[in-house]
Each structure stands twice: as C-alpha cells, then as structure tokens.
Structure 1
Amino acid sequence: MSNAKVLPVLQPEAVVPCCPPLTAASLSEEDSVRMAAMFKALGDPVRLRLFSRVASHEGGEACVCDIQDVGVSQPTVSHHLKKLREAGLLTSERRGTWVYYRVEPSVLAAMAGMLAGAGR
C-alpha cells in the first residue's frame, strides 16, 4: 500500500487566505487558533530553516535528502518536518524511499494576508 499523497495544482486565484488581515477586524477564535499553530511551528529556528529550504527550493518542492543538513540529526529533522505538516504548513509525498515536501499553497498567502497592513 502506498503512502503517496497527490498534491493539488492550484491556480493563483484559488489560493485564498484563511484569515482576515489583523487590521481588518478582530480574529475569530478559530482563526486565531489556526494561525497560532502555524506561527508556533515556525517559532523554532530549525523548523523555520526547513520551511525556508522547502519554500525556496527549485520547483517548489524538496526531497528530504536535499534539506536535511540543518545541523541536527536525521530523526530530529523528521520530527520537525512532522510538526510543520501537523501545523498545515507543508504537505508531503513519498516517492520510493524518499519523501518530498511542498509548502501548502495557501499558507504563504494566508500569513502574508493576515499580516498585511499590521505595520500601520
């Protein structure tokens, strides 16, 4: 049985932020819980580096073999990638013995949209 997950190809107009900008209105309890989980996952320096490596990797996805050199052991890398997946920041797909990661398409738009205008 395969653990492969088919990654959807979304058109730019299909990427919708999950939460309103901070300056538009108060966040609902549901939106604040969702966004807090994302920011908490990115609050760890190793996770932030892994997320950045995936997001900036050519083609928008990265094999774990290409991003695992972040100064911690392989089991620790796996732990951090799992936390990023659980927070909804990454999706993954197994191909043979390797796992490929991709930033969830709406994540960057959601985070940017929520923070838009926060500096006013």
Structure 2
Amino acid sequence: MSNLELPVLGQDDQVACCTPMVREPLGEDAAIDLAKMFKALSDPVRLRLLSLIASHEGGEACVCDLTGPFDVSQPTISHHLKVLREAGLVGSERRGTWVYYWVLPAALARLSSLLQAPAGAR
C-alpha cells in the first residue's frame, strides 16, 4: 500500500454519524472530525478541486486533469489534494505514473446529513 492509499481512521463509522444539528447538538468528537472536513473545504481551490473530481466523467479524475484549471503550481495542487485526502473527503490510487482521485460518498453524506434543515424551516 502506498502512502497515497492510507485509510482514514474511523471512516467506516462516519456514514451514520450525524443527526442534523437542528435536532440535537454535536458531540465533541463529531465536532472535531467534522471541523477537519469543513476546514479542508474552506479554501476555494480545494472546494473547486472537490467539485472537479466529483463531476468528472466516471466519478474519478487523474491528477493530470486537475492542474490545468488553476493558476497555481502543480506542487500546490498536490498539497490541496493531500489536505482533501487527509480530511477524508477524497480517496486516491496510484496507477503507473499518475494518481487518480475520487470523492468519498460517505463523507458527503455525513456533511449533508449534518446540515439538513427540517421541512418547513424558515
């Protein structure tokens, strides 16, 4: 296993993590984990990278497809992808000389369930 394929600890229990925060307050551990995800998404380049990966044909994108749309260097893109990976938002796999990235559906589901507003909310 390469260092690009390290699993995110505790990721299996993230799928059913979150009751919408309008129903009950977050626990300390959940807040710490979710803050890492939101912090990773707080950068415009990382948010765009996540969007590019998620909307890429086949649901995964080669790093070679991710460097063109940005006015930053390749090492900077690699850093941002590392932050997204460490936050548990994307997975990656090396195939030959390229690394491919995909969005982890469980992470998006976790964020989505946390932010759900109750029906009829203002």
State the AA in 2 paired with 1:57: H
Residue identity (%): 58
TM-score (norm 2): 0.83
- Asked if the contact 1:63/1:101 (under 8 Å) is kept, the reply is yes
What amino acid sits opposite 2:49 in the alignment? L
Deviation at 1:107, TM superposition (A): 1.1
Match of 2:37 in 1: 38
Q: For 1:54-105, what per-residue CA distance to the aligned partner results, in whole angstroms no more than 9, with x for missing partners?
A: 1111111110011112111000000000000010111100000000001112
Residue 19 of structure 2 corresponds to residue 20 of structure 1: yes
CA distance, structure 2, for counterparts of residue 36 and residue 102 of structure 1: 21
CA distance in 1, matches of 2:38, 2:98: 27
Aligned residue number for residue 10 of structure 2:
none
**SS in structure 2 of the partner of residue 52 of structure 1:** helix
Alignment match, 1:105:
105
The reply to whether residue 63 of structure 1 matches residue 73 of structure 2 is: no
User: What TM-score, normalized to structure 1?
Assistant: 0.84
Unaligned runs of 5+ in 1: 6-14
Instruction: Return structure 1 stretches of 4+ with deviation > 4 angstroms.
Output: none
Which deviations, in whole Å up to 9, do the C-alpha atoms of 1:24-79 show, x marking residues without a partner?
20000011111111010000001011011011111111100111121110000000
CA offset at residue 19 of structure 1? 1.8
Moved more, 16-25 or 87-96: 16-25
Could you say which structure has the higher helix fraction?
2
Q: How many residues align?
A: 112
Task: Tell me how large the CA RMSD over aligned residues is.
Answer: 2.2
